[in-house]
Every structure is written in C-alpha cells, then in structure tokens.
Copies of this chain bind each other. A is one copy, B any other.
Amino acid sequence: MPHLVILYTPQLDKETNIDVLCRSLANTMLAARDESDAAVFPPGGVRVLAFPAAHFAVADDGSAGRAAGGTGDYAFVYLQLRMANGRTAATHTRVGDALLKTTQTHFADIFEKRHIGITLQIDEGVPVYDAKHSNLHPLFNKV
C-alpha cells in the first residue's frame, strides 16, 4: 500500500489521456501531507494503475441521456485508494480532497461535454498477510 486503482469505461481513452491522470494523481499522493506536515506516503510506495473495462453497462439504455440532449453514452470512472489502516480521519479527508481536486481538474472539460460519473473512495486495507519485496524504497531513503 498505498495503491490507487482506477477502473473506467473505455470510451474515455479516446477523450482524455489517462497516463496524464495517473501521473497527476501520483504527484498528488507524493505531495500529500498529514496534520503534522509529514508526508503521508513514502515515494517508493506510490502507485497508480488504471484499467479500462472491456465491456460495461452504465445506468439505463441511454434513454435518459438522449432525452437530455446527450448521446446516451455514459462514462464512469471509479478511483479506489487502498491505504494502510490507522491513519486519522483528518488525513483521509486531506488525501481524498486532494485526489478529488486533481481528478475534477483533469475531467473538467469532459464533464462539460458528456454524461459521466466519477466516484472516488479511500479504503483502509486490513490484510491478514502483508509482504513487500521492493528495490524502490531504498531509492528514496538516502541521507
């Protein structure tokens, strides 16, 4: 942890650059500070992975969207951050608000042009087994 996983409807790949979104969200995580101004996440532990669905169905058959002047094609983006448990509610809010702002900024133009739903959630992981095997962390732990 932390892992930010993005599941989304695939038509968005033609409308926006999800690589850029991933990097923006990773940068937001790298910059996140808790109430005591300490970094929330270790740099080597920040990862954002995005997966377009191969098949999907959102809401109705498009009728409501077409009735409202749209194409009837709905997009959806689900962002789920899993972070270690035990952080304060204030830290969750800080991280969540920062990620939400980054996400809203990224999709601002698209939000004006099409029907889309975005959900951002943070879960606390409570694994019963947790192992790391990494040569990334040492890159960022230099004196």
Task: Name A residues whose Cβ lies closer than 8 Å to a Cβ of B.
Answer: 1, 3, 5-9, 13, 18-19, 21-23, 25-26, 30, 43-61, 64-65, 67-68, 74, 76, 78, 81, 89, 92-93, 95-97, 100, 103-104, 107, 111, 115-137, 139-140
By the criterion CB–CB under 8 Å, are A49 and B139 in contact? no
Contacts of A13 in B (CB 8 A): 54
Number of copies: 3
One of B55, B120, B123, B135 near A22 (C-beta < 8 A): B55
CA distance A12 to B79 in the complex (A): 23
One of B9, B46, B65, B78 near A58 (C-beta < 8 A): B46
By the criterion CB–CB under 8 Å, are B57 and A43 in contact? no
- The smallest beta-carbon distance between A124 and chain B, in angstroms, is 6
CA distance A125 to B78 in the complex (A): 13
Q: In chain B, what residue has the closest Cβ to A52?
A: B54
What are 29 A-to-B residue pairs whose CB atoms are below 8 Å?
Answer: A6-B55, A13-B54, A18-B54, A22-B56, A23-B57, A26-B58, A44-B59, A45-B59, A47-B56, A47-B78, A48-B58, A49-B76, A50-B54, A50-B55, A51-B53, A64-B140, A65-B139, A74-B136, A92-B129, A96-B131, A100-B131, A100-B133, A115-B139, A117-B132, A117-B136, A119-B131, A120-B129, A122-B130, A124-B128
